[in-house]
Structure 1
Amino acid sequence: MAEAGVRMAEPGDAAEIARIQVTTWQSAYSEMLPPAVLAGLDNSIAEQEWRGTITDGPATVLVAEEGRWTVGFCAAGIAPESEVASADGALPEDAATTALISALLVEPRWGRRGHGGRLLATIGRRLAEQGATRGITWAPEADSASLSFFRSVDWSPDGTVRTLDAGGSPLREMRLTGPLDFEFKHD
């Protein structure tokens, strides 16, 4: 394997991040999202949104590289109250120190090479240095790959679910939570 690493994203990475997002969603979510939703994904709009996030926040964005290729990315930051609240709107005591992993994607052709783990470990360290004490993320209930990945770092569902409108079709997601000092368990 070529040299692999993780670094902070720069505005010039926005096009590759958008391409990875669209490519990965069209591949990995083809059975979860309606074809019209996947066909409507627009690289140029996604690129603008990622450029804004990279330059203005609120999330920190990292990219994974292998050799000269950008192969994945992760975006995370302190969770908004709406993301960490329970179904009845109550906030946990650690709401102000809970981080949200809002995106973690590795392009499928680069999968199972440790890039997701490196991204998660790096963002976990950065979040802990900023005062975060635990993390959360949302994953579709039908996304067995993401659920398995997060379970491998001792993250588990906390009982909170939400249903999103995915182009007129419901997409049920579960919230997972866990520590930021990641230890990977390999099967």
Structure 2
Amino acid sequence: MTTADVSARLAWPDDVEAIASLQAESWRESFADVLGDQLDALRPHDLAERWRQTIAAPRDARQRVLVALERATIRGFALVHPCHDEDSDPVADGEIGEFVIDARHRGAGHGSRLLQACADTLRADRFTRAVWWLSSTDDATRAFATAAGWAPDGAHRELAAETGATLRQVRLHTGLA
């Protein structure tokens, strides 16, 4: 019996190109109806510069980028940080700010490993609760999260894009203690 060489770890500066490429793909898939033609101008190279800064000099010591790997290939990434919602406690509440799994490799366990790494990282930073904003229409991710113990907490928001479209989101939460 052979086992796959899969893992999750903190991102390294050398990972930014792969992270940016996955983010651009994901945004094109997930936000086409919200961002429209703005997605045509989305360049992985520009996103890579932001990720390089986020990894090398985060705004907060508890802001971390994690990657899911299959051998040395990045299959997903996540950003965790203190929650900045008005009703949150920035000492107790952490947030998954970005969570992307390569669409071609979903269902292979990368999301579960990465989600567990997010929880472990937030817990290690002494957060006791985690929140995660999801598109209100992303039933697959919501089902994945709820199967992992996350639940809606009743909060919702609408984000307006420059295109005039609105992204509706619901907030999920889970305990980390």
**TM-score normalised by structure 1 residue count:** 0.84
Tell me the alpha carbon deviations over residues 75-132 of structure 1, each in whole angstroms, 9 at most, x when there is no partner.
102212xx2x34xxxx5xx542110100111010011111111111112112112211
**2:169 corresponds to which letter in structure 1?**
E
CA distance in 1, matches of 2:52, 2:101: 18
1:68 match: 72
- SS class of match (1:23): helix
1:39 maps to what in 2?
Answer: 40
Other structure's SS at 2:126 match: coil
Q: RMSD of the alignment, in Å?
A: 1.7
Q: CA deviation at 1:26?
A: 1.4
Counterpart of 2:121 in structure 1 is: 126
Structure 2 equivalent of residue 142 of structure 1: 137
Distance in 1, Cα, partners of 2:176 & 2:40: 35
SS in 1 for 2:152: strand
SS of match in other structure, 1:132: coil
Paired position in structure 1 for 2:52? 51
Pairwise CA distance, 1:170? 0.8
Whole-angstrom CA distance in 2 between matches of 1:51 and 1:165: 27
Distance in 1 (alpha carbons) for counterparts of 2:38 and 2:66: 26
Match of 1:170 in 2: 166
Identity %: 30
102-111 or 144-153: which moved more? 144-153
* CA–CA separation in structure 1 for the residues paired with 2:79 and 2:95: 9
Deviation at 1:34, TM superposition (A): 4.0
Offset at 1:136? 0.3
What is the aligned length?
171
Q: What are the Cα deviations for residues 13-54 of structure 1, in whole angstroms up to 9, with x where unaligned?
A: 111100001112212444x43431332322122111111111
State the alpha-carbon separation in 1 of the partners of residues 98 and 110 from structure 2: 14
Amino acid at match of 1:75: L
Structure 2 letter corresponding to 1:56: A
Alignment partner, residue 185 of structure 1: none
Alpha-carbon distance, 1:158 to partner: 1.3
Q: 1:10 aligns with which of 12, 15, 18?
A: 12
- The answer for unaligned runs of 5 or more in structure 2 is none
In structure 2, C-alpha distance between the alignment counterparts of 1:37 and 1:146, rounded to whole Å: 24
Partners of 2:108 and 2:176 in 1: how far apart? 21
